Structure 1
Amino acid sequence: MYELVQGVFNGDEKTDMHQFIYALSASGKHYFLRNEILQAFGDYCHQSQKPAYFYYSSSVGKLIHYTHEIILEEESIWFVIRTRIANQEVWQLTADFSKFEQMTLQALLDVRDRLVNRYQNHILEIDLHPFYESSLRIDDARNIGQGLAFLNRYLCNQLLTDPEYWLEKLFQALHGQQYDGIPLLLSDRITSSIHLGKQIKQALKFLSQLEPDEPYEKFSFDFRELGFEPGWGNTAARVKGTLELLDRLIYSPEPGILETFVARVPVVFRVVLISIHGWVGQEDVLGRNETLGQVIYVLEQARSLENELREQIKLAGLDLLGIKPHVIILTRLIPNCEGTFCNLRLEKVQDTENAWILRVPFGEFNPEITNNWISKFEIWPYLEQFALDAEKELLAEFQRKPNLLIGNYSDGNLVAFLLSRRMKVTQCNIAHSLEKPKYLFSNLYWQDLEDQYHFSVQFTADLISMNAAEFIITSSYQEIVGTPDTIGQYESYKCFTMPQLYHVVDGIDLFSPKFNLVPPGINENIFFPYSQKEERDSNLRAQVHDLLFSREDPEIFGNIDHPNKRPIFVVDTITSINNLTGLAECFGKSQALQERCNLILLSSKLHPDEAINRDEAEEIQKLYDIIDQYHLNGKIRWLGIRIPSNELAEAYRVVADYQGIYIHFARFESFARSILEAMISGLPTFATEFGGSLEIIKNEENEFNVNPTDLEGTAKKILDFLEKCDTHAQYWQEVSERMSQRIHHKYNWHLHSNQLLLLAKMFSFWNFVAPENNEARDRYMEALFHLIYKPRAEKILEKHMEGVREWGVGSEECGMRGQEDKEN
């Protein structure tokens, strides 16, 4: 970067940079993000009649394309330059263009504070770098999110480098395994790693004399005489295969062998999935805001984990000992449950043998509040006491400590941190969606937004839990570090300011092996391709067809004049970020789209008076205004109805029957379930280029990724696709099949659960054989919890106790809201 900067300021293009900065300052703004910078530079090139190459290939053009922020001060211009993924540099240019030098991150945070007139000379700096300095780190940014593979390679190298030490550690890890006092894997007859190697040879010789399908119980006595306890397998062939893996690991360690062996070791039996806010239940709750996606995720994850654990226990031969998995979804009990089952302490998860929803009430404090649903923005004062109460309930249900805690969302992850510290149990985090990058400048203007959103509490909770977790699973690579052009969700926590509260100089190590990509699956018993005609219910199809195209209902707006046109289908809640109004405007502005397609919107609301917050009400009204403005009556149908999953799945298939398309037009989406649902159903799917959907819809030509700020460009992409469908008779079917197969093979719950359990085993094993001594880091997290989080959470509680605010109201639109930071 230094050479590029010098090339600009020591060459002929210095004047161009000067003129461009002057054009920026003429706008009257002081803070510019990437999209604004590129737009302004494009305008400058056009007005200055620059040749075509200048925009991209000149030294100024290259510098501008690396620049993600420009801040104008009286005496200087600041550039935040992101030369590559997970790396940024800060450069200061003096106002007279005499000096351009690299600056510290601390200096940048001071500039941002000055920008909002909230600079203070002495402020708390949060810096996690020292705690990661001596830890293992991934070297190549392309491998971020592949922590498991990294650890496997590292451990195998260590086994080769210092075999005696590491083999003894491996022996100790295996020797210590037990289930509720029942010894597993190795008995005291085997006394060392050297002895283990000898006994493996004896055992393999013994097993080779048996029939492969000989049940374990028939040879268990002789096998245990050799020093091997249950857990190696349920048949002679399975036991022999597991011991052969261990034998190969001892003498010729390879990452694939290590991973396969660890996957077979039975060490996880009791799992807790923590999902606190919203309505967590199975009946009459799955359409409510703040609940839908996360509840479906956690329920399907619980079913899949229990099924995977049961299969692993069976293959290990432990079901004969009465061992069975136990999965608990930990959530809050809501006494005023509005007709749902959210007031039941214990509820069995449907289609499972031993998975349960355990509901623990919040400490009462003010029962007018704690007996009701509480918004995710208001939930923070109750989590510490909830964790203490939940610990007692979990121990009562399990009769032992769990083996794994999985947090969901910011509040669930914080509770996972509190429980993990007390119970000494492996902690896994799943963010789903981090609020900080969803709300533009939410950290910079936190004081203005605090009464509504309490971002100071949430962002502190995020910092605590993400650093304390043993491992973090994400649905996409972009969730961690974004793309070359956009900042990742976790990356946004790397360096930021909360003016007059604290500066985060280094908030998370993005190269830590704790980050692992484990995308979710989809329930293929419900969501399956439209082409599987034999599995479809003809009565359900007729019912859903009537709903989508002709039924009269107070909760349905609009009739379609020409139902044989290709449908453009969208399923989403109505918020400014989800951007249904942007899609309607895109459709309204394109006569060509209207001539070839109908637009069908399926949301949960139809009328402004149904909205639970101002943002939702304004978006609903805006949608009506757009329909009127572009005269879309007869071309659009808007269903404000919650429908069950089986009907939703059939809705995708009915649209596919018409060779329609699906579009997800959000300003930003970390990972949308609806994209998986549409694609597995066989619908060619267009989705926002801002977020994880880039990885779901993976196509070299970028044909199906759309920019929600570019309405004309989006319409053109859809029309280009339709033209190909008209020109090549099989093109729609080819895309349909390709997208459906991609979801089937890459996004399924079996892969998810298998990988998640492997991570839990691997990180538990890693913590045993090579503990990093994270106590100092965790004490630092506790300090943040007690000195920052708790005092700010107590301020929320004070307002709840005083009854001075509408505590149950969900998120309202904030002035700085949106995903323009992703677009910019």
Structure 2
Amino acid sequence: MYELVQAVFNGDEKTALHQLIYTLNASDKRYFLRNEILQAFADYCHQSQKPAYFYYSSSVGKLIQYTHEIIIEEKNTWFVVRPKIANQEVWRLTADFNSFEQMTQQALLDVIDRLVNRHQPHILEIDLHPFYEGSPRIDDPRNIGQGLAYLNRYLCNQLLADPQYWVEMLYQALQGLQHDGIRLLLSDRIPSGIHLAKQIKLALKMLNERSPHEPYEKFRFDLEELGFEPGWGNTAARVSETLALLDRLIYSPEPGILEAFVARVPAVFRVVLISIHGWVAQEDALGRDETFSQVIYVLEQARSLENELREQIKLAGLDQLGIKPHVIILTRLIPNCEGTFCNLRLEKIHDTENAWILRVPFGEFNPEITNNWISKFEIWPYLETFALDAEKELLTQFQGKPNLLIGNYSDGNLVAFILSRRMKVTQCNIAHSLEKPKHLFSNLYWQDLEDKYHFSVQFTADLISMNAAEFIITSSYQEIVGTPDTIGQYESYKCFTMPQLYHVIDGIDLFSTKFNLVPPGVNENIFFPYSQKENRDSNLRTQIHDLLFTREDTQIFGHLAHPDKRPIFAVTSINSIKNLTGLVECFGQSQALQEECNLIFFSSKLHPDEAVNPEEAEEIQKIHGIIEQYNLYSKIRWLGMRIPSSNLGEAYRVIADSQGIYVHFARFESFGRSILEAMISGLPTFATQFGGSLEIIENQEEEFNLNPTDLGKTAKKILFFIEKCNTHPEHWHEVSEWMSQRIHNRYNWHLHSNKLLQLAKMFTFWNFVAPENNEARDRYMESLFHLIYKPRAERILEKHMDNNS
């Protein structure tokens, strides 16, 4: 970056930079974001009649392309430059243009505080960098999110460099495995790693003399004589394969061998999935709008994990000892549950043998609040006591400690942190969607937003849990570090200010091996291609067709004058980020779209008086206003209702029967499970370009990714696809088949659960062999929890108490 800055500063293009800053300075603003900077530079190039190459290829053009923020002070102009993914630099240009120098992140945060008149000369600085210095670290930004693969390579290199030490570490990790008092894998007859290597040879020789299909019970005592306890496999062939993998790992370590061996180690039996603030139940309570997808996710994940664990236990030969998996979704018990099962302490999860929803009530010191559902923005004062109560309940339910804690969202991850520290259990962090990057300038103006959102508590909780977690799983690469043009969700926690509270100098190491891409699956019993006629219920199909196209109901708005037109379909909750208003506006503005298509969409609400907050009511009213403005009454169907998942799956297929399309028009979407559901059902799917859908619709993004801020271009892109389908009918079928197969092959729960359990085993091992920095880091996190999080959470509690007094 230095060379580029010098080329601009010392060359003829310095004038262009001067003119751009002069133009920006002429406005009332002092803080400019990337889109504004690019637009201002484009305007300058046009007005100055610069040649076409100048905007992109000149030195100043390249500098502007890399610039994500510009802050103008009286004496200086500050550039926040991102020359490559996960790398940010700060440059200061003096007003007299005599100096252009690189500055520290601390200096930048001071400038931003001054910008909003909230500068504090002495402020707490949070810097997590020292805790990652001694850990394995990915060096190539393209490999961010591939932590497991990197850690496997790292450990294999260590085995080669110092085999005696690492074989001993491997032995100690295996030697300590047990479940409910049952010793697994190794007994005391094997006293060391060197002895283990010798005994493996003897065991392999013995097993080679037996039939591959011989069950473990028949040679169990022969193996025990050699020092090998249950858990290696359920047949002679399986045990032999597992021991052979370990033998190869000891003598010629390779990442593939390590990964295959770790996958077979029986180290995880009890798993807790923590999802707190939603209505977590299976019937009539699949979350509120803000948690609907979260509840579906954890229920499907629980089923998949239990199934995967059961299969692994069987293959390890441990089912014969009565060992079985135990999965618990930990959530809160809600006494005033509005007719749902959310006041039931324990509920078995459908289609599982031993997976349960365990509900623990919030402390009763504030019952007028805690007996009811609580928004995710107000839940913070109750989480610590919830965690302490949940610990007792979990120990009782499991009759022991869990092996893995999986947090979901900011609140669930904070509880996972507390439980992990107390129970000494591996912690996995899943954010799904972090609030900070969703709300522009939410950290900068946190004091103005505090009464409504309590961002000071939430962002502190995020910093604590993401750093304390042994590993973090994300659904997409963009979730971690964005794209060359956009900042990732976790990247937004790297460096930021909370004026007059603290400065985050280095909030998370984006190159850490803890980051791993493990996208979710989709329930293929419910969501499957429309073309699988044999799996579809003809009666249900008729009912759903009637619901979508013709039925009259108080919760359905609009009557289609031409129901045979190609349908545009959407399923979403109603808020400004999901941007249903933008989709309706886009449809209303385009006469051409209206001539070709009908617009049909599901939301959970239809009328403003059904809204649970002012924003939702405002968005509903906006949609009604747009429909009236463009006279769309005979061209749309708005279904303001929830329907069971099985019916929703058929709804996607009914739309596909009519060769419709699906549109996901959010301003930002970290991933988007409805995108998976629509695609696997065979619907050509258009999705926002801002977020994880870029990776879901890979290789097709130019045709199917939309900019929700450009309604005209969106309409043209959809129309272009429709015209291709009208001209070449096979095009719709080709896209439909490609999208369905992509989800089936890449986004399935078996892959998810298998990878998640591998991560749990590997990072538990890594924590065992290299725990030093983790303890220091976790003490630091505890300090943030007690000194910042708790006092601020207590203020929320005081307000709750005052409001009820």
Range of TM-score over shorter length: over 0.9
Q: Does residue 703 of the first structure (1) align with residue 703 of the second (2)?
A: yes
**Residue equivalent to 2:525:** 525
Structure 1 residue 624, shift from structure 2 partner: 1.2
The whole-number CA distance in structure 2 between the counterparts of 1:627 and 1:505 is 48
Q: Where do residues 808-823 of structure 1 align in structure 2 (5 Å cutoff)?
A: none
What's the counterpart of residue 451 of structure 1? 451
Contact 2:200–2:247 under 8 Å retained in 1: yes
- 1:348 maps to 348
Checking the alignment, whether the CA contact within 8 Å between 1:285 and 1:291 is kept in structure 2 is: no
- Compute the TM-score of the two structures, normalised by the length of structure 2: 0.99
Give the secondary structure class of the aligned counterpart of 1:773.
helix
- Looking at structure 1, the residues matched to 617 and 172 of structure 2 have their Cα atoms a distance apart, in angstroms, of 61
What residue number does 2:514 align with? 514
Matching of residue 263 in structure 1 with residue 274 in structure 2: no
Correspondence for 1:291: 291
1:629-681 deviations in Å (ceiling 9; x for gaps): 22222111111011110110011001111111101000000011100000000
Q: Distance in 2 between matches of 1:612 and 1:640?
A: 14
Secondary structure of 2:675 counterpart? helix
Match of 1:623 in 2: 623
Counterpart for residue 59 of structure 1: 59
Aligned AA (1:62):
K
CA contact (8 A) 1:310 1:324 kept: yes
Give the direction of change, closer, same or farther, for the CA distance of 1:28–1:804 in structure 2 (3 Å limit): farther
Which has the larger displacement, 208-217 or 472-481? 208-217
Which residue of structure 1 aligns with residue 180 of structure 2?
180
Which residue matches 1:208?
208
Aligned to 2:308: 308
Match of 2:135 in 1: 135
Amino acid at match of 2:204: L
- The match for 1:820 is none
CA deviations 1:37-68 (Å, max 9, x no partner) are 11222222222222211111111211111010
Q: For residues 485-527 of structure 1, give each alpha carbon's deviation from its aligned partner in whole angstroms, at most 9, with x where no partner exists.
A: 0000000000000000000010001011000000000000000
Matches within 5 A, 1:200-599: 200-286=200-286, 288-599=288-599
Q: Which amino acid aligns with 1:673?
A: R
Q: Which residue of 2 aligns with 1:30?
A: 30
- Range 700-709 or range 517-526, more displaced: 700-709
Structure-to-structure mapping, 1:75-114, within 5 angstroms:
75-114=75-114
SS at match of 1:357: strand
Inter-partner Cα distance in structure 1 for 2:55 and 2:95: 24
1:9 is aligned to 2:9: yes
Indicate how the Cα distance of structure 1 residues 241 and 58 shifts in structure 2: closer, same or farther if over 3 A, else same.
same
| Aligned residues of 1:93 and 1:99 also touching (Cα < 8 A) | yes
Measure, in 2, the Cα distance between the counterparts of 1:174 and 1:336.
Answer: 47
Task: Tell me if the contact between 1:520 and 1:747 (Cα under 8 Å) persists in the aligned partners.
Answer: yes
Map Cα deviations across residues 10-31 of structure 1 (whole Å, 9 max, x no partner).
2221111111112212221111
- Checking the alignment, whether the CA contact within 8 Å between 1:287 and 1:604 is kept in structure 2 is no
Q: Distance in 2 between matches of 1:339 and 1:251?
A: 61
Cα distance in 1 for partners of 2:639, 2:111 equals 48
- Letter aligned with residue 465 of structure 2: S
- The answer (yes or no) to whether the contact 2:403–2:426 under 8 Å persists in 1 is yes
Q: CA deviation at 1:182?
A: 0.9
Q: Shift of the alpha carbon at 1:287? A: 5.6
Determine the structure 1 residue equivalent to 2:716. 716
Distance, in Å, in 1 between the alignment partners of 2:529 and 2:322 is 39
Contact 1:135 1:772 in 2 (8 A): no
Does 693-702 or 157-166 show the bigger shift?
Answer: 693-702
The letter for the 1-side match of 2:334 is: I
Question: Is the contact between residue 472 and residue 515 of structure 1 (CA under 8 Å) also seen in structure 2?
Answer: yes
Deviation at 1:700, TM superposition (A): 5.1
Structure 1: distance between partners of 2:485 and 2:258: 37
Aligned residue type for 1:573: S
- Unpaired stretches in structure 2, ≥5 consecutive residues: none
Pairing 1:773–2:773 present: yes
Q: Which ranges in structure 1 are unaligned for 5 or more consecutive residues?
A: 806-824
Which residue type is aligned with residue 302 of structure 1?
A
1:803 counterpart residue number: 803
Give 1:588 deviation, angstroms: 1.4
What secondary structure sits across from 2:702 in the alignment?
coil
- 2: CA distance, partners of 1:188 / 1:14: 74
Identify the range of structure 1 (295-304 vs 175-184) with the bigger mean alpha-carbon deviation. Answer: 175-184
Which range is displaced more, 69-78 or 505-514? 69-78
Q: Could you report, residue by residue, the CA deviation over 1:234-255 in whole angstroms, capped at 9, with x for unpaired residues?
A: 0111111111111111111100
- 3-state SS of 1:803 partner: helix
Equivalent position amino acid for 1:322 in 2: G
In structure 1, what is the Cα distance between the partners aligned to 2:48 and 2:603? 47
Shift of 1:381: 0.5
1:46 aligned onto 2:41:
no
Q: Aligned equivalents of 1:3 and 1:691: distance in 2? A: 32
Separation of aligned partners in 1, 2:376 and 2:141: 33
Shift of 1:727: 2.6
How far did residue 132 of structure 1 move?
A: 1.2
> In structure 1, how many angstroms separate the alpha carbons of the residues matched to 2:219 and 2:177?
21
CA distance in 1, matches of 2:337, 2:560: 38
Q: In structure 2, how many angstroms separate the alpha carbons of the residues matched to 1:158 and 1:787?
A: 39
- The 2-side partners of 1:561 and 1:16 are apart by 56
Alpha-carbon distance in structure 1 between the residues aligned to 2:337 and 2:115: 46
- 1:606 to partner: Cα distance: 0.6
Q: Specify the code of the residue in structure 2 equivalent to 1:340.
A: T
Give the CA deviation at 1:138. Answer: 0.7
Question: How far apart are residue 298 of structure 1 and its match?
Answer: 0.4
Q: What is the deviation of 1:701?
A: 5.5
2:612 is aligned to: 612
The answer to whether structure 1 residue 736 and structure 2 residue 731 are counterparts is no
523-532 vs 128-137, which deviates more? 128-137
**Is residue 273–residue 302 contact of structure 2 (8 Å, CA) maintained in 1?**
yes
Q: Which residue of 2 aligns with 1:662?
A: 662
- Confirm or deny: 8 A CA contact 2:569 2:600 kept in the other structure: yes
Question: What SS class does the counterpart of residue 7 from structure 1 fall into?
Answer: helix
CA RMSD of aligned residues (A): 1.1
Find the aligned partners of 1:19 and 1:176 in 2 and give their Cα distance.
68
How many correspondences in the alignment? 805
Alpha-carbon distance, 1:290 to partner: 2.2
SS class of match (1:686): strand
Deviates more, 1:194-203 or 1:520-529: 194-203
Report the 3-state secondary structure (helix = DSSP H, G, I; strand = E; otherwise coil) of the residue aligned with 1:703.
helix
SS at match of 1:157: helix
Q: Which moved more, 1:522-531 or 1:627-636?
A: 627-636
TM-score by length of 1: 0.97
Distance 2:13 2:191 in 1: 74
Map Cα deviations across residues 81-101 of structure 1 (whole Å, 9 max, x no partner).
000000011111112222211
Equivalent AA in structure 1 for residue 412 of structure 2: G
Measured in 1, the distance between the counterparts of 2:100 and 2:58 equals: 18
Secondary structure in structure 2 of the residue aligned to 1:612: coil
Question: Could you tell me how far apart the structure 2 residues matched to 1:193 and 1:79 are?
Answer: 55
Q: Tell which deviates more after alignment, 194-203 or 98-107.
A: 194-203
Query: Is the Cα contact below 8 Å between 1:287 and 1:642 reproduced in 2?
Result: no
CA distance in structure 2 between the aligned counterparts of 1:528 and 1:487, rounded to whole angstroms: 34
Residue 651 of structure 1 pairs with residue 651 of structure 2: yes
Q: Percent identity?
A: 83
Partners of 1:768 and 1:121 lie apart in 2 by 42
Once the two structures are superposed, residues 789-822 of structure 1 have per-residue CA deviations (whole angstroms, 9 ceiling, x without a partner) of 00000000101111169xxxxxxxxxxxxxxxxx
Structure 2 CA distance, aligned partners of 1:27 and 1:590? 34
* Amino acid in the other structure paired with 2:479: E
Q: In structure 1, what is the equivalent of residue 72 of structure 2? A: 72
Change beyond 3 A, Cα 1:84–1:421 = same
Separation of aligned partners in 1, 2:253 and 2:354: 37
Question: Following the alignment from structure 2 to structure 1, what is the Cα–Cα distance between the partners of residues 123 and 348?
Answer: 49
- Aligned AA for 1:511? F
Between the aligned partners of 1:106 and 1:286, the Cα distance in structure 2 is 44
